[in-house]
Chain A
Amino acid sequence: MATQTETESGRPYAPSVRARRPTDFDLTLPALGLLILFFVLPVAILLTRSVTEPVPGLGNYAELLGSSTYLRIFANTFIVSGLVTLVSLLVGFPVAWALAIMPSRVASVVFAILLLSMWTNLLARTYAWMVLLQRTGVINKVLIGMGLIDKPLPLVNNLTGVTIGMTYIMLPFIILPLYGVIRKIDPAILQAAALCGANRWQSLVRVLLPLAMPGMAAGALMVFVMSLGYFVTPALLGGTANMMLAELIAQFVQSLVNWGMGGAAALVLLVVTLALYAVQLRFFGTDRMGGR
């Protein structure tokens, strides 16, 4: 068949001569098979355990949703994720904007820095933050040395530490889609706004922000959903009072070896994540997720 393709059309994979061209779906089969075997199935087994261990029934869910401690952890998971999303947007938007308007040679350097941080080991990055943020760390020492503060600021082992550490990790995920969207905005529109008498603030709030909204929403949702399941950073930079759901699941599975409760907590997280994903699809569609 290959020879036929080449002789008759002069280029391979010409649709007209192929007996059957693999459809898009066929091409996903290997990946899909892998996912089902190594992800869907094990997750299903773990979730089954949540209603069978230690005794059949919904006891694990009752315990999970009936305990103020676990509800606090749920709430905390959402608070941290929300905070990280908010700060990521506030910090990420100016960066994305700057990237979109700066000369491409400079932009490529900034991109390299951004990506380089993504390629560095997560644990190494998190420990680096610990060294920077702790009471005897670099930041506090410098501030005290400059006479700006007398006592070290509590920057780590608390919500501040988690937010700083996670925002830093999430930034690329918000900057990249935003950059894509802002790049597509015709600079002439902003000029037009200025010509119509809009000041800088009005141009930003009434023109640029609405146009960048799809990218902001896509990036924000992605960061929020990713944050919901985060584990290493909150475990290392947060105090025990800032525990998030993923850490609770790890505790159930690895330390307490209580897979029923671990499965139940995992299902709750999965349902919330899927619901948010559904919202994302409903309002933005898959096309917009990359900021296109």
Chain B
Amino acid sequence: MRKILILAAAAATITTAVPASAADLVFSSWGGTTQDAQKAAWADKFAEKSGTNVLQDGPTDYGKLKAMVEANAVTWDVVDVEGDYAAQAGKNGLLEKLDFSVIDKSKLDPRFVTDYSVGSFYYSFVIGCNKDIVDACPKTWSDLFDTEKFPGKRTFYKWSAPGVIEAALLADGVPADKLYPLDLDRAFKKLDTIKGDIIWWSGGAQSQQLLASAEAPFGSLWNGRMTALAQSGINVETSWEQNITAADSLVVPKGAKNKDAAMQFIALATSAEAQAELANLTGYAPINLDSPKMMDEELAKTLPDAQTASQVNADMNYWAENRDAIGERWYAWQAK
């Protein structure tokens, strides 16, 4: 195990992974149902239209991406990454600039566009609750942090990423427009008050399992996972109060073998139709502003797009600047 770990990080720096044939495009994402949907909505369509075969790889691993770029042996052409990572990696020279003569950014949600990245889809951290188990569901972040009013375990996203720190500050009464720069001391102090009652989820499937089995009857989840739980017939409630948006981004690693095809792939993936299709399949929101009107009306109502009244946008640029510092503090706090 130890060997595998070190190897995973280091081997890639000196070995050249078996390359896909030059004509194939390689797309890396996070696996699971989301990548299946990306394949159906984007890759298969792209292959049909361009004749370029799209190979699926994953899960996305930032260590691997860095190793590929440094060794100039890049096997991924288009990569789905977290928005804050995209903003940071662009600045650190790990990404190609996107060609906006190929990708039409005029219709893309400007919250998720940088020189090096465009949104892949966007999602909200919402408050999910299993209604079969508890009498009353927490409606606000303050409720979710109130262990007296809502006793029991609650589940939060394990990794250092936009979402939980914002939720803690909102719960502590920080106004949404005064969130940034994040007051980390205050956030961790607030998190300390419920630390013993947190069960961390490290992946979307786990968050669903925790909620459905009532191991943690409520918590902060990705909205798409709540939609899926509801569809599977579980009696859940979603509170959109101060839902916190974050996005995945599409990027092209520096030195990608099929740069031109990669730009065309991103152009297709961010088109109104492809974004609408992905949203239909996943319950996550499209980043193309023309997509919602192409979607099924009932479904469009369940998207973060329909919940903008009290929506809070995580600041990707702030996170990009402070990603490392917050991350180290986050993991140190968790391990305490």
Contacts and interface: CB of A to CB of B under 8 A. Distances in A.
A46 B160 CA distance: 24
Contacts of B61: 254
Interface in A219-248: 226, 228-232, 235, 239-241, 243, 246, 248
Nearest to B212: A136
Given A42-B7, A42-B14, A136-B215, A254 B158 contact: no
Interface stretch (A8-16, A66-74, A191-199, A210-218): A66-74
A134 B202 CA distance: 16
A134 B334 contact: no
A251 interface: yes
Contacts of A249: 5-6
B62 A255 contact: yes
A142 interface: no
Contact of A134 (B15, B64, B213): B213
A251 B331 contact: yes
A119 interface: no
A52 interface: no
A41 B14 contact: yes
Contacts of B63: 253-254, 257, 259
A45 interface: yes
A254 B64 CA distance: 7
Contacts of A99: none
Interface in B312-336: 324, 327-328, 331-332, 334-336
Given A42-B14, A157-B199, A251-B331, A269 B2 contact: yes
A257 B13 contact: no
Contacts of A230: 1
A276 B112 CA distance: 51
Given A45-B14, A135-B215, A136-B215, A253 B335 contact: no
A5 interface: no
Interface string B37-57: 000000000000000000000
A138 B134 CA distance: 21
Contact-size category for A: 35 or more
A46 B336 contact: no
B228 interface: no
Contacts of A226: 1
Interface in A10-52: 38-39, 41-43, 45-46
A231 B327 CA distance: 20
A249 B331 CA distance: 12
Contact of A259 (B9, B14, B324): B9
A144 interface: no
A45 B1 contact: no
Between A38, A69, A257, the greatest number of chain B beta carbons within 10 A of the residue's beta carbon is seen for A257
B332 A45 contact: no
A31 to B, nearest CB: 14
Contact of A243 (B6, B7, B66, B334): B334
B176 to A, nearest CB: 27
A280 interface: no
B5 A250 contact: yes
Nearest to B328: A256
A246 B4 CA distance: 11
Interface string B143-182: 0000000000100001110000000000000000000000
A266 interface: yes
Nearest to B216: A135
Interface string B204-216: 0000000001110
B328 A72 contact: no
B251 to A, nearest CB: 14
B7 A38 contact: yes
Contacts of B8: 253
Contact of B6 (A134, A240, A251, A266): A266
B159 A232 contact: no
Nearest to B329: A69
B215 A42 contact: no
A246 B2 contact: yes
A258 interface: yes
A273 interface: yes
Between A46, A239, A240, A251, the greatest number of chain B beta carbons within 10 A of the residue's beta carbon is seen for A240
Given A134-B213, A136-B213, A69 B153 contact: no
Nearest to B332: A69
A95 B3 CA distance: 30
B10 interface: yes
A262 interface: yes
Contacts of A42: 6-7, 9-11, 13-14
B335 A134 contact: no
Contacts of B158: 240
Given A69-B332, A243-B334, A254 B199 contact: no
B191 to A, nearest CB: 12
B319 to A, nearest CB: 13
B30 interface: no
Given A258-B324, A262-B9, A39 B214 contact: no
Given A258-B324, A266-B6, 7 more contacts: A67-B332, A134-B213, A230-B1, A241-B336, A253-B9, A257-B62, A257-B66
13 contacts: A38-B7, A46-B9, A46-B10, A67-B332, A69-B335, A72-B336, A229-B1, A231-B1, A241-B335, A253-B5, A253-B8, A259-B66, A266-B5
